[in-house]
Amino acid sequence: MHRSPHKSGPPARAARRWTAAVTAVLALVAGLATASGTGPALAAAATGGTYQQVSGFGPNPGNLAMYSYVPAGLPAGAPLVVALHGCTQTANDYYTDSGWPKYADLYGFAVVFPQTGTGNNPLSCFSWFDATKDARGKGEAESVVEMVGKAESLYGSDSHRVFVTGLSAGGGLTADLLADYPDVFAGGAVDSGLPAQCATTQSAAAGCQNGSLNLTPAQWGDKVRGSDPGYTGPWPRVAIWQGTGDQTVQAVNGTELRDQWTDAWGIGQTPAGTRSLPAGTTLTTYDDTAGNPAVELYSISGMGHGLAVDPGSGTDQCGSTGAYFLATLCSSYYTAQFWGLATTTGGGTGLPAPGGLTVTGTTANSVSLSWSPVGGAVSYDVYRGGAQVNSGAVTGTGFTDTGLAAGTGYRYTVAAVDSAGTVGARSAAVSATTTGGYTPTCYTADNYQQTVAGRAHQSGGSTYANGSNQAMGLWNLYTTHTLEETAAGYYVIADSGCPA
């Protein structure tokens, strides 16, 4: 057996009428009280596969139900994704609207949709804030991991490629699961959620939701390390999705998640690169010591509380809009790319992923790459941001991508192609930033002056850098920081040196 979501809330005016203890949970969940599709019918969000309830998945201390979607003809050895719904939602809602079944079909993996209910929480919220339910070997966390073991048995899933994602309270439980079971999950995505073990009691939950706890990255990292004492890595790769206009889960939670997981990885909070994505989204990447993305923060300008979707037929489009499924860009697509799930043929067929993908050089308009050879490969396909960029066969183990924009970040993966033309699994991604472009500028001032100058903002008496939302401490004249503007309107703390 393996060792061994979603919070939303009522408007602030309503929350103030309640007691602090009730607010801690209900301010987190009532925002999804009108979420669509709460009926039992199983909607058709994908084709060719099977969506059904799975009973008898093992010990179930969390009193959860297990649903799964399995594409037709899925071979053994394919990845597995666990997707956690939000308060007042069901597994069926997340199956229908999140976009994950589309990529299960396209790339070849199974998806497990755990479901909680009113028997656990009046608004069907996963208990991200309850230490008796969200810790290793306990409650809902253990039930989810039992589902993983069942799926591996039923579908032959690759135990080294299991991933978990969730929205709001589902995102909170996702972060907890990543900390509790880093030996089970290779990666995760926290959508409009909050840091692992941010709260361990219901009464403490509102403090996480509504502002900063003013913890250092090391203190946040300690919450991860303390969830599975003695574990030393490798840590899961974590994608963080946060809207800057979220009034239910304040945007600072995205920054604190970034602090937590970069510290767990031991890589610091200086980004390896930033780049712009559709819908006013800024992607900030933090690489591991091998130069591969370990933590990614997707900050969506103006987006409120919900999951980012983008209905349409394009490869990078997914989902359905509705209550707390917000039309911006397809978060599931970008998360699948980050996890390395994308293959052109799907199903885990073909050759293994190339190793050793490395950026060997950059200019203002090009990026050069190299990788290790794969036995049986006759050529290689190169992908930038998920789209293939080589127009002809790449027969060697190197490639230069040209015609790029100066001072811009890009992400690459590579896949081997065999003699039958079958494209194998994609490599882990690497990031590269072309030279030139925006010239970083640094500003040293107290927190009050940084805010007045438009480089930071304050919330609840604390100060946060614009763009990155990094916590700067109290909003006063006595705390001083150096901020580096790495892109127009995007600031990071650079106290250790500028450029950072």
Q: How far apart are CA 354 and CA 382, in angstroms?
A: 11
**Buried/exposed code over 157-178 (b: 16+ C-beta within 10 A; e: otherwise):** bbeebbbbbbbbbbbbbbbbbb
As assigned by CATH, the class of the 12-339 domain is alpha beta
Q: How far apart are CA 188 and CA 179, in angstroms?
A: 10
Closest CA to 275 of 431, 57, 397: 431
Task: Give me the active site residues, please.
Answer: 168
> Measured between alpha carbons, how far is residue 443 from residues 89, 136, 440, 447, 448 in Å?
45, 44, 10, 11, 13
The topology (CATH level 3) of 358-433 is Immunoglobulin-like (2.60.40)
Where are the chain's structural domains? 12-339, 358-433, 441-493
pLDDT in tens, the chain (500 residues): 444 333 333 333 233 322 333 333 444 443 333 333 333 334 445 557 899 999 999 999 999 999 999 999 999 999 999 999 988 889 999 999 999 999 999 999 999 999 999 999 888 899 999 999 999 999 999 999 999 999 999 999 999 999 999 999 999 999 999 999 999 999 999 999 999 999 988 889 888 988 899 999 999 999 999 999 989 889 999 999 999 999 999 999 999 999 999 999 999 999 988 989 999 999 999 999 888 899 999 999 999 999 999 999 988 999 999 988 999 999 999 999 999 888 543 334 568 888 889 999 999 899 999 999 988 899 999 988 767 899 889 999 999 999 998 877 788 889 898 888 888 877 877 888 888 876 788 999 999 999 888 899 887 788 988 888 888 999 898 999 999 888 778 888 988 888 65
Q: What is the DSSP letter of 328?
A: S
Strands 456-459 and 462-465, by their bridges, are antiparallel
- The secondary structure of 41-53, three-state, reads CCCCCCCCCEEEE
Q: How far apart are CA 458 and CA 451, in angstroms?
A: 7
Residue 220 — φ and ψ, nearest 5°?
-65, -45
Q: How far apart are CA 496 and CA 500, in angstroms?
A: 7
Q: pTM for this one?
A: 0.71
